[in-house]
Structure 1
């Protein structure tokens, strides 16, 4: 991906003292197949499966239709991930769909995609998952009582700050955290699934006697239920944001995608079967902390295992999102679409400390919005719209870049199916959630004046340029970071 302005800031040599040192500095290739699987699974299984079932059931109106929604969300996500496998192996540049949209549709569309990530999708997702961490942590202390909002916000902030420290310290440490949290969250869901199977075997089938009774016929409600379910699958694209740090992306990326998406879909459907078997419909409506409620009802003195595992699950979800989001901002800064200081890497730890801190600061701001379901709908519209743009870029590359090597070649039917469903979702999102959809559109459009002022306007006042240079020097000195050499063109 060629930069709009390939010149590096003048302070690099001044602070590093050695130009060759910056040329050798780069992100380390430490991610193998297992790390790729745990990164995707750990990012997908964050908070959604523990809070989304209530929202999906509320919108669909029946157990049967809710299960169908969960299965279709998994298939839709798998198709999108399959398309991303071709893009990731063709454009080997961290930042995922931002790089694909930039290459296909130009700098301004790339910036709009970036702007959505900066303001909404990634930091909002981090806030949601961290709030869920706090909710499950507090649930044993406030069972059947309202949790203090301030306590939830402070715990969520603590979660974000701890993960930020880990990601600033070591990529290897953050991937180890991801591995441990992934094993914990899968274990929690397996416990819940096995409990549901036992209950079914004992004859607890009252909720399954009329599974489709009460199904809504409102297309807008069904679409919003689909969005709520898709929130639980968010994370299937995160490995693409780490492609420069993969040991063998061509071999490992597609395998990691298929293993992860298939496993998560199976786990999600079976977990919902267990929820609907163990809990009554009224209990599902009343509580967002479904797993903790099951723990209280089924596990006696060992009830604390479930909230502990769920807390680890959401902790890992925050880790995966911060880890991958920081790479998007790093690449954007390298091509001059974000402040140059965000492209800098620590000389000792080889971690992008400024971009990690930037992600954390924006995410902390979203903790002021405590309504989780509103945030999910808010994220849903812009997230899946931008995913659709990335998949559309695959078709564009097929037409314009016919001779480019493609280690993986997806059947063209899959991106067409994905785009058709995406268009349907976008249209009916305005019916089911017009306010959230309109706000998402306004945020995307607000990127245009920002792009003109911050990117296109080259002849900025000298005082402003001196201020930016001063900020860059201060960031370099404070965090011991320098600008690495630009990676070779991705194509």
Structure 2
């Protein structure tokens, strides 16, 4: 979690790697003239369509097929449930607009990490990187792949739930496969994302279309007295928003790859304005479709809401629902892995993680060490994982840093007036999002205090114990310890430090 080689070391190792690559492939000067060498940096290969697919494909994953139960449970009725789904879409849109200002003002990859660094300095950015790289991002990948595994294995166990060993083994295999794709090629990862985004939009259209037909046939009994139900506490509403916003999570993903985005000043805000409203409409319509065929009790007792819907409405073609849900969760996991690797890469480049994470594949121009590291942690979290527990604690930490990032919009209006702002949101939006973010952090804790929240807070602050010696002081023995490890990993993975583009 510190820079462990000098600039001389970096330059020498890079030159040796380049020389080794050319020698092993038999290149000579004539060949190099015909095939100019690409700079070892992350290239701008993500266009507008791929950017929209990244947002939509990452947001529409496991959430809409898991979270409806939890949102209904904590909201207390059909009416409040639909209102919360709508409100979550509005919040995601407002938050993304704040991020559009930040992303066009500070066109660096890394999302919140880069903005917190500019607004509050190195210690706060380090705490974010410590929490997100080590816990939030890999646990998110773990959650999504576990959902993928549950749906993928369900047809093979029609009379019971799939064994835990099967779901966790399949989730692990999915993580390894996705990491391999992302390490191999940025374009291939983008093509996979676009393909699976199309698949998930198709199943959304099928579910919504079936719901519209049923509504036209008069299936509206579950919407009568929609707001009659049990009373809920402020903490319960907070937990309902947690689970709804988990389904919307991904609205900030594009900011993690700003440096790889073609024409970011145009495509970043445009992709946000197209992608997030599309997802919000899909989510509300899907929930309405669910309630056309299932009562509240039926929905809460279903082990797989989307599959239950398909069994009731699409028989004998009901098998297409779990198949497309598998596609949907796989695509979401791919998007999550893609952006998580960029965050770890930027943190390594800034000296807040071990330097090997900032290295780029000499042949593939992908941040393969960072991608592998994220996948390794995700596999570790898959072993003991409980999906609902992970969602609650992931949201607690995530919304704390969302709130800080929204606050940075306000802070930099006064401290960084010189920065150009191609997109500038009304400051009242940023203020509103700060208040909402910290409500989502505090309300469940006040309503139902649990030691796990304290453990989460202690873990976040414990990052300072590593920051002071390894980042602030840059202790010499740590650099000497990591230098041979970095060298051997560099040779094994065929990676080099990124070049500085002038």
- With normalisation by structure 2, the TM-score equals 0.93
Q: Deviations over 1:219-253 (max 9, x none)?
A: 11111111110000110101001110011000111
Evaluate the alpha carbon distance shift between residue 432 and residue 149 of structure 1 in structure 2; reply closer, same or farther with a 3 A threshold. Answer: farther
Displacement of 1:27 in angstroms is 0.7
Q: Counterpart in 2 of 1:160? A: 175
Segments of structure 2 that go 5 or more residues without pairing to the other structure are 22-36
Displacement of 1:120 in angstroms is 2.2
| 1:416 partnered with 2:431 | yes
Segments of structure 1 that go 5 or more residues without pairing to the other structure are none
Q: Counterpart in 2 of 1:227? A: 242
| Residue pairs, 1:110-259, within 5 angstroms | 110-143=125-158, 145-259=160-274
Q: Which moved more, 1:304-313 or 1:20-29?
A: 20-29
Query: What secondary structure, in the 3-state scheme, does the structure 2 residue paired with 1:10 have?
Result: helix
Displacement of 1:459 in angstroms is 2.9
For 1:308 and 1:423, how far apart are their aligned partners in 2?
38
Contact 1:167–1:173 (Cα < 8 Å) also in 2: yes
Query: What secondary structure, in the 3-state scheme, does the structure 2 residue paired with 1:76 have?
Result: helix
For 2:68 and 2:333, how far apart are their aligned partners in 1?
20
For 1:343 and 1:401, how far apart are their aligned partners in 2?
27
For 2:248 and 2:9, how far apart are their aligned partners in 1?
43
Q: Counterpart in 1 of 2:93? A: 78
Q: Counterpart in 2 of 1:474? A: 488
Displacement of 1:376 in angstroms is 0.6
Contact 1:96–1:328 (Cα < 8 Å) also in 2: yes
Q: Which moved more, 1:464-473 or 1:73-82?
A: 464-473
Q: Counterpart in 1 of 2:455? A: 439
| 1:13 partnered with 2:12 | yes
Structure 1 residue ranges (4+ consecutive) displaced by more than 6 angstroms after TM superposition: 3-6, 18-23
What's the C-alpha RMSD, in Å, of the aligned pairs?
2.0
Displacement of 1:287 in angstroms is 2.3
| 1:458 partnered with 2:474 | yes
Query: What secondary structure, in the 3-state scheme, does the structure 2 residue paired with 1:26 have?
Result: coil
Q: Deviations over 1:156-202 (max 9, x none)?
A: 11111110000000000001110011111111111111111111222
Aligned partner (choices 354, 378, 382) of residue 369 of structure 2: 354
Q: Deviations over 1:278-304 (max 9, x none)?
A: 122222112241111112222223222
Q: Counterpart in 2 of 1:304? A: 319
Q: Which moved more, 1:33-42 or 1:197-206?
A: 197-206
Contact 1:37–1:256 (Cα < 8 Å) also in 2: yes
Q: Count residues in correspondence.
A: 484
Q: Counterpart in 1 of 2:31? A: none
Displacement of 1:68 in angstroms is 0.6
Q: Counterpart in 2 of 1:49? A: 64
| 1:402 partnered with 2:417 | yes
Q: Counterpart in 1 of 2:395? A: 380
Q: Which moved more, 1:171-180 or 1:420-429?
A: 420-429
Evaluate the alpha carbon distance shift between residue 64 and residue 87 of structure 1 in structure 2; reply closer, same or farther with a 3 A threshold. Answer: same
| 1:64 partnered with 2:79 | yes
Contact 1:55–1:225 (Cα < 8 Å) also in 2: yes
For 1:235 and 1:195, how far apart are their aligned partners in 2?
27
Evaluate the alpha carbon distance shift between residue 18 and residue 149 of structure 1 in structure 2; reply closer, same or farther with a 3 A threshold. Answer: closer
Aligned partner (choices 340, 350, 355) of residue 325 of structure 1: 340
| 1:93 partnered with 2:92 | no
Contact 2:51–2:254 (Cα < 8 Å) also in 1: yes
Evaluate the alpha carbon distance shift between residue 223 and residue 157 of structure 1 in structure 2; reply closer, same or farther with a 3 A threshold. Answer: same
For 2:357 and 2:223, how far apart are their aligned partners in 1?
53
Evaluate the alpha carbon distance shift between residue 432 and residue 155 of structure 1 in structure 2; reply closer, same or farther with a 3 A threshold. Answer: farther
- With normalisation by structure 1, the TM-score equals 0.95
Evaluate the alpha carbon distance shift between residue 251 and residue 448 of structure 1 in structure 2; reply closer, same or farther with a 3 A threshold. Answer: same
Displacement of 1:479 in angstroms is 1.2
Evaluate the alpha carbon distance shift between residue 389 and residue 4 of structure 1 in structure 2; reply closer, same or farther with a 3 A threshold. Answer: farther
Evaluate the alpha carbon distance shift between residue 12 and residue 477 of structure 1 in structure 2; reply closer, same or farther with a 3 A threshold. Answer: farther
For 1:194 and 1:383, how far apart are their aligned partners in 2?
34
Q: Deviations over 1:284-334 (max 9, x none)?
A: 112241111112222223222111111011001111011001111111111
For 2:85 and 2:292, how far apart are their aligned partners in 1?
16
Contact 1:89–1:250 (Cα < 8 Å) also in 2: yes
Displacement of 1:440 in angstroms is 2.3
Contact 1:11–1:469 (Cα < 8 Å) also in 2: no
Aligned partner (choices 307, 314, 322) of residue 292 of structure 1: 307
Query: What secondary structure, in the 3-state scheme, does the structure 2 residue paired with 1:409 have?
Result: coil
For 1:369 and 1:143, how far apart are their aligned partners in 2?
24
Displacement of 1:145 in angstroms is 1.8
